[in-house]
Structure 1
Amino acid sequence: MNLSPRDEPLSVGFVLLHRFTLLPFAAFVDCLRLAADEGDRSRQLRCHWTFMTSTGEPALSSCGATVSPCVTFRDPTEFDYIVVIGGVQDEKARRDAMALAYLRRAAGAGVPLVGLCTGVFALIQAGLMTGRRCCVSWYHHRDMIQRFPAIEPVADRLFVDDGDQITCAGGAAAADLAAYLIERHLGKAWAMKSLHIMLLEEARDGTQPQPQPVVFGKIEDRLVRRSLAVLEQHLGEAMSMDVLAERVGTSRRNLERRFRETLGVGPQKFARDLRLRYGLWLLHYTGKSVTEIGERCGFADTAHFSRHFRSAFGVTPSEMRKRANETGRDQVDPFFLHVEGRPAL
């Protein structure tokens, strides 16, 4: 196939803050690298990228690895996008005044800004997120609410494109966002080239929900493992056990027996408890109403959702939402919640 790039390459400037998170940075820049050249030769032909820090010194990541060479901040108008990648968030997290000033300068020049992972915190600190939607990882949702109560975070999607500002939850979603921008500037073929070399089948849309923290211990039974994967992919619907059995290639009776032997409960109750955990997650990490959450979790009506939720967690969804919003109360971590009637995750 003869592919012709556009006349001007896609140019991206990276602002790497102290102890920046390495995975979203690597996923984003490698997607650019693979789209930039034929094969895997890494020449900056169709895409250009520049790593920048306030001092021009190598950037230290959160895992201790450093990235170099870095330069001091360049004229923001040299870039199509400026991507800021934040670091570990704690009470002693340093503010990079020079970096914040640079982001304000870039915004003033009309250069689109990308807040990647905790880079969105820097956009807030720079005063650039007022009245904006703000995509953040569910993992940092509570921290954002506590530190910036005037900001309304979005934690149920991968990234939000507001035109001149894009915010991304981080992690592997950085590759999806990079592919999205590559497709916009260079075409779909170049975006798919990058993703396929990275062993990713296709780019996820920004509106896709963030993967939920549903964790299981080691499960030896392959049939049960396959069933769990199907259930995780259909958290928003009450799948019948006949349909589930057909999807995994067995009978309903055998499916019931294998679930009880492996997990101590039948697949129908397990599936319902899984959807309730999803509802619990949505109560803590989104602003959706109880009615919306019940519908999204596949329950026929709010009363049905509330009744089963209270049976599982001892409180109603409204009471759980109130607890989650109480100042000073620790966030319930869905990783460690125990749903009655089956082993803790």
Structure 2
Amino acid sequence: MKHESAFQPISGNSKPKVLTVGFLLAPNFTLSAFSNFIDAIRIAADDGDLSRQIHFAWDVISHDNQPIKSSCNIKVVPTRTIYEKKHYDYLAVVGGLLHANHKLPNQSIEFIQEAAKHQSKIIGICTGSFILARAGLLNQSKVCVSWFHHHQFMHEFPLLKANSDSLYTIDNQMITCSGGIGALHLAAHLIELHRGKYEAVQSLRILQSDFPLPAQTLQPPPTTVTSARSPKVKKAILFIEKNIRSPLSIEEIANNLNLSTRHLERLFMRELNISPTRLYLKLRLGHAATLIKTSTHSISYIASECGFIDLSHFCRSFKEEFGLTASEARQQSNHVQ
């Protein structure tokens, strides 16, 4: 099914309407995801180079008029409050850091839910997908999340249909985007849909980017995948990344790739100078470290979520990998926050 068909491009024989976009920025939002999206829209909005809101118009919305701090400490000043009840063709929710104290207030969540009821297209950018899922808006939708947050998303929403392969996903009224360049190319897709191919390409060219990438374009993979040249090794690592919680055996991974275990091990050593078993352990421990720093779950629970049946084995492996215990890592993280 081609989900893009849910959007109807504007007829060339009719006067194009002004497309309105509202932005809700979560506390400690990702500035690059927001700026990539809005700058592409800004360029396409004008017929010249004056940044006039002719074809697109936008607001940064908040429950109050206080500046909203991004994760890099740059602040954005809202232009409108949610209490004005303005309708937007697209309502984009830009997420950022996932710590428990970095959430949108309830008033803003209710505003998003109301916008969905009134047929606004709802966009979750970066970890905005977490916000939409918590608001109960993605229960019937396919969801795109960054590979960096995939395990965390599946841990919190195990029943949702999430993927970390594509740059963005359009499923009727709900749109989710991995962030980064995904936000840029999602904006280009909407520009092409509502203004045309030339305008979309022009926006990207001005921003020093290439032609618009379709939704199914693969996300840039983790560093371990990028450094591998062999397609078999890359696929094996993706199997590992997607099965942190319930680890597969190396034999199962090899079978999925129509390889012998011995051949797969040779490929890993040749490409990455590490065995698949050792890499699997390092990625599981890395995910555990992320959960320890960003969640309040117990150490034993996190160990189980990362596929460790034996807590003592987890604690020993964690200290060998990072040079400190899991409890010490959590204490350091709390001190930084």
In the aligned structure 1, how far is the partner of 2:77 from the partner of 2:14?
Answer: 28
CA displacement at 1:156 relative to structure 2: 0.7
Q: 1:302 matched to which residue of 2?
A: 257
Structure 1 counterpart of 2:222: 213
Give the aligned partner of residue 65 of structure 2: 56
Q: Aligned-pair distance for 1:319?
A: 11
Contact 1:283 1:320 in 2 (8 A): no
Q: Is the 8 A contact 1:212 1:278 kept in 2?
A: no
Shift of 1:308: 3.1
Match of 2:236 in 1: 279
Q: Which amino acid aligns with 1:73?
A: I
Q: Deviations over 1:9-28 (max 9, x none)?
A: 22111111111110010000
Q: Is the 8 A contact 2:45 2:52 kept in 1?
A: yes
- Pick closer, same or farther for the CA change 1:305–1:97 going to 2, 3 Å: farther
Match of 2:108 in 1: 99
Maintained 8 Å contact 1:19/1:60:
yes
Q: Do the aligned partners of residues 126 and 34 (structure 1) sit closer, same or farther apart at CA in structure 2, a change above 3 Å counting?
A: same
Cα displacement string for residues 71-127 of structure 1 (whole angstroms, at most 9, x for unaligned residues): 211666632110011120124333421111111101111111000111111101111
Q: What is the match of residue 255 of structure 1?
A: none
Q: Secondary structure at the match of 1:19?
A: coil
Tell me, yes or no, if the aligned pair for 2:284 and 2:306 is still in contact at 8 Å. no
* Counterpart residue type for residue 99 of structure 1: S
Q: Give the 5 Å matches for 1:253-272.
A: 271-272=229-230
For residue 45 of structure 1, what is the aligned residue in structure 2? 54
The corresponding residue for 1:82 is 91
The one-letter amino acid of 2:187's match is A
Instruction: Give the corresponding residue for 2:334.
Output: none
* Amino acid aligned to 2:229: A
Q: 1:25 aligns to what?
A: 34
Compared CA separation, residues 83 and 271, structure 1 to 2 (3 A): closer
Distance 1:108-1:183 versus aligned 2 partners, 3 A rule = same
SS at match of 1:304: coil
Question: For residues 44 and 156 of structure 1, do their structure 2 counterparts lie closer, same or farther at Cα, with a shift above 3 Å needed?
Answer: same
| 2:101 counterpart SS class | coil
Task: Indicate yes or no: 2:122 matched with 1:113.
Answer: yes
**CA-CA distance at 1:315 after TM superposition:** 4.0
Contact 1:77 1:106 in 2 (8 A): no
Question: What amino acid sits opposite 2:165 in the alignment?
Answer: D
**1:34 partner amino acid:** I
TM-score (norm 2): 0.70
Shift of the 78–314 alpha-carbon distance from structure 1 to 2, 3 Å rule, reads: closer
Q: Which residue does 2:193 correspond to in 1? A: 184
Q: What is the aligned counterpart of 1:328 among 302, 315, 329?
A: 302
Distance 1:204 1:76, change over 3 A: farther
- Amino acid of the residue matched to residue 264 of structure 2? F
2 CA distance for matches of 1:207 and 1:305? 30
Aligned residue identity for 2:212 = A
Secondary structure of the 2:259 match is helix
Provide closer, same or farther for how the CA distance between residues 286 and 192 of structure 1 changes in structure 2, counting only shifts above 3 A. Answer: farther
Residue pair 1:24, 1:172 contacting (<8 A) in 2 also: yes
Report how far residue 7 of structure 1 moved.
2.6
2:21 is matched with 12
d(CA) in 1 for partners of 2:179, 2:136: 21
Q: Report if the CA contact (8 A) 1:76-1:109 is conserved.
A: no
Which segments of 5 or more consecutive residues in structure 2 lack a partner in the other structure?
1-11, 269-274, 289-299, 308-320, 322-337
Aligned to 1:260: none
* Range with bigger deviation, 74-83 or 169-178: 74-83
Distance in 1 (alpha carbons) for counterparts of 2:15 and 2:83: 24
Please, which of 72, 77, 98 is the counterpart of residue 68 of structure 1?
77
Q: Distance in 1 between matches of 2:126 and 2:42?
A: 20
Q: CA distance change for structure 1 residues 65 and 321 in 2, over 3 Å: closer, same or farther?
A: closer
Other structure's SS at 2:129 match: helix
Distance of aligned partners of 1:39 and 1:306 in 2 relative to their CA distance in 1, 3 Å threshold: farther
**How far apart are the structure 2 equivalents of 1:316 and 1:20?**
34
Change (3 A) 1:106 1:306: farther
2:161 corresponds to: 152
Matched, 1:197 2:206: yes
Is contact 1:6–1:186 with CA below 8 Å preserved after alignment?
Answer: no
Question: For residues 308 and 63 of structure 1, what CA distance do their matches in structure 2 show?
Answer: 45
In the alignment, structure 1 segments of 5+ residues that lack a partner are 216-230, 236-269, 338-345
Contact 1:22 / 1:63 at 8 angstroms: preserved in 2? yes
The equivalent residue for 2:6 is: none
